[in-house]
Amino acid sequence: MWLVINPLLLALVYFLLVDILSGRGLGADYFAHLLAGLFAFYFVAGTITTGAASVVGGGKLVMNTAFPRLLLPYSAERTALWRFLPTLVVYFAVHVASGRPTTLVLLLAVPILGLLILFSAGIAAFFATLQVYFRDTASFLPYFLRIWLYLSPVLFTVQDISDRLEKHGLLWLGYLNPLFSLLGMWSEVLTSNQVPSASMWAVGVGWSVAAFLLGSMFFMSREREFAVRL
Amino acid sequence: MPSVSESVPTERTRKRLAVSVQDVSVTYRTTFERVPTFKSAITRLGRGERAVREVEAVKGVTFDVTHGTTLGIIGSNGAGKSTLMRTVAGILPPTSGRIDVYGRVSTLLALGVGFNAQLSGRENVVLGGLAAGLSRSQVEEKYEEIAEFAELGDFMEMPMRTYSSGMFSRLAFAVAVHMDPDILLIDEALSAGDARFKRKAQQKMGELLGQARTMFLVSHALGSVKELCNDAIWLNKGQLMLRGTPDDVIAAYTKFLEVGEDAFTLEDL
């Protein structure tokens, strides 16, 4: 129950915040966008937070049993995913209530969710490894994630920021943030009923595959040491 | 040359071989900080210090174990006993050398593996079984037997944080020995529980031996090594000092402890 209420309250807080700060009346459109973005972001953040703690938390298991260590962060992601899926139902209730069209474009959300899963698995594996070497990683992770949230197209829409960046020829700056393209596409598909541009797809796929491969490889290159570092 | 023909296992002896450790060395780098943190890493960097140390835990150890053997591993603290066990279990791959294991390994190296203190004993038995690679139905089949062996009574339904450490290790031991392992690796687990449970644990291990199971037992309790094992090795500073009957190995080890390292030679025996 709290899995649904929690992000919903959070969305309400941000909605009021942005509504007051921007000083203009924001509609149901914006709320739908905010909800979609926040839910997806908290799925990624949840995967990273629990994934980062998975290896150190599973210390005894790691020291006693031989098994593919990558299963630890990946199973953390699985848990996060099961928590995320019910929030999608909430989103769709808002989606319909706010009069967003339900078209085939929505199906594109599935591959985008796949990219998000791939991306956060890689980042979770990276932080899980880091946590073994620096146990205080967990203490600055929340701040890092909070800043990441503000830099990602969750509170603002990807259209707002792309336009502004493009005016100065700085669109590449946005692409530096992996979640710019991933969450941008997510929101475009879900709330704007828009097929994301080819460059968005390219950057999103690139980031996800790179994060997954590099994060997992970094993890595997270090996993032998886990048994003696824990 | 007879020595050569002996060292090459024939098809027949290979079948009975449980574990073959060939010239295995394990070296790893670890930190001597209690809790490694980013903060201390930065302060160290400022002072130009390094907290990483290379440990040569096991150096060129070679031995074979056939099925039905209970091998006692003795040696002082830091001799590499636990590292050797982890290497045999596949947890810490060797830096060089080769280990062949024929059969399914069950380990009791760290107590309460896969156990969650918030969950009840019953749920933890299931978890422990799953962590050991059994299917859910297999674990449920064995549950009654495990519960009976651990003798925890009503505590099986209570969260494990309410357990005393003895009860905790009793349950862990019960789970590990009921996994039907071909090879069982035990690290100091006989210290689990009270005198009565210890006797029961010894009995169970004797039973496993009767089924021609193989067991590795790391222990500082030389008495139980003498009683339970039919073979023993002695490790010192990562090197294999002696392999032989428990009586001989324990005698040599005890003598070594008395006279000290410098004065000791194996020829003294």
Tell me which of A56, A65, A133 to substitute to probe the interface with B (most B C-beta atoms closer than 10 Å): A65
> Residue B5: which pLDDT band, with cuts at 50, 70 and 90?
very low
Tally helices (H) and strands (E) across chain B: 10, 9
Tell me which of A64, A69, A224 to substitute to probe the interface with B (most B C-beta atoms closer than 10 Å): A64
CB contact under 8 A, B110 and A66: no
The full DSSP string for A104-164 is GGGGGHHHHHHHHHHHHHHHHHHHHHHHHH-TTHHHHHHHHHHHHHHHSTTSS-HHHHHHH
Q: Calculate mean pLDDT across residues A195-204.
A: 93
Lowest mean pLDDT among A34-43, A79-88, B11-20, B209-218: B11-20
Q: Calculate mean pLDDT across residues B96-106.
A: 87
What the block records as the tokens of A94 is 């808002």
Is the CB of residue B182 less than 8 Å from the CB of residue B103?
yes
CB contact under 8 A, A133 and B109: no
Nearest alpha-carbon partner for A125 in A55, A44, A58, A204: A55
Q: Calculate mean pLDDT across residues A76-81.
A: 93
pLDDT for the residue B206: 76
CB contact under 8 A, B89 and A61: no
β-bridge mates for residue B239, sequence order: B236
Task: Indicate the SS3 state at residue B93.
Answer: coil
pLDDT for the residue A101: 86
Tell me the pLDDT tens digit for each residue of B102-153.
Answer: 887 888 776 656 677 778 888 888 887 887 778 888 888 888 888 888 888 8
β-bridge mates for residue B28, sequence order: B55
Domains of chain B in start order, with CATH, are 2-23+64-104+181-268 (3.40.50.300)
Query: Which span out of A20-24, A204-208, B155-159, B192-196 was modeled with the highest average pLDDT?
Result: A204-208
pLDDT for the residue B6: 41
Integer angstrom CA distances of residue A43 from A47, A130, A208, B128, B250: 6, 20, 15, 29, 57
CB contact under 8 A, A225 and B132: no
Is the CB of residue B22 less than 8 Å from the CB of residue B99?
yes
> Residue B178: which pLDDT band, with cuts at 50, 70 and 90?
confident
pLDDT for the residue B24: 92
What the block records as the tokens of A93 is 């209730």
Give the closest of B30, B38, B110 to A136, CB-based.
Answer: B38
Chain A's closest residue to B116, CA to CA, is A58
Q: Calculate mean pLDDT across residues B86-113.
A: 83
Tell me which of B26, B32, B35, B92 to substitute to probe the interface with A (most A C-beta atoms closer than 10 Å): B92
Q: Calculate mean pLDDT across residues B78-83.
A: 86
In chain A, which residues touch B (CB < 8 A)?
A: 60-66, 133-137, 140, 224-225, 227-229
Q: Please state at what angle helix B121-131 crosses helix B136-150, rounded to 10 degrees.
A: 130
* C-beta atoms surrounding B181 within 10 Å: 21
CA B59 to chain CA centroid, nearest Å = 18
Q: Give the residue with greater pLDDT, A49 vs A29.
A: A49
**Residues of chain B contacting residue A79, judged by C-beta atoms under 8 Å apart:** none
What the block records as the tokens of A146 is 């909070």
Give the DSSP letter of residue B116. Answer: -
Give the closest of A135, A140, A225 to B28, CB-based.
Answer: A225
Whether residue A51 has pLDDT greater than 80: yes
Q: Give the residue with greater pLDDT, B23 vs B35.
A: B23
Q: Calculate mean pLDDT across residues A22-49.
A: 86
Show Cβ contacts of residue B122 under 8 Å, excluding neighbours closer than 6 positions: B143, B147, B156, B157
CA A77 to chain CA centroid, nearest Å = 11
Q: Give the residue with greater pLDDT, B34 vs B37.
A: B37
- CA of B23, closest CA in chain A: separation in Å? 19
Task: Indicate the SS3 state at residue B263.
Answer: coil
pLDDT for the residue B149: 86
What's the rounded Cα separation, in Å, for the pair A105 and A98?
A: 17
Is the CB of residue A191 less than 8 Å from the CB of residue A36?
yes
Task: Indicate the SS3 state at residue B232.
Answer: strand
pLDDT for the residue B264: 64
Q: Which residue has the tokens 């060129």?
A: B60
Q: By percentage, how much of chain B surpasses pLDDT 70?
A: 87
CB contact under 8 A, B107 and A137: no
> Residue A198: which pLDDT band, with cuts at 50, 70 and 90?
very high
Which of A145-175 are b and which e, b meaning 16 or more Cβ less than 10 Å from the residue's Cβ? Answer: beebbeebbbbbbbeebbeebeeeeebeebb
CB contact under 8 A, A229 and B110: no
* Sheet with strand B183-187: strands edge to edge: B105-108, B183-187, B214-218, B70-74, B231-236, B239-244
pLDDT for the residue B269: 47
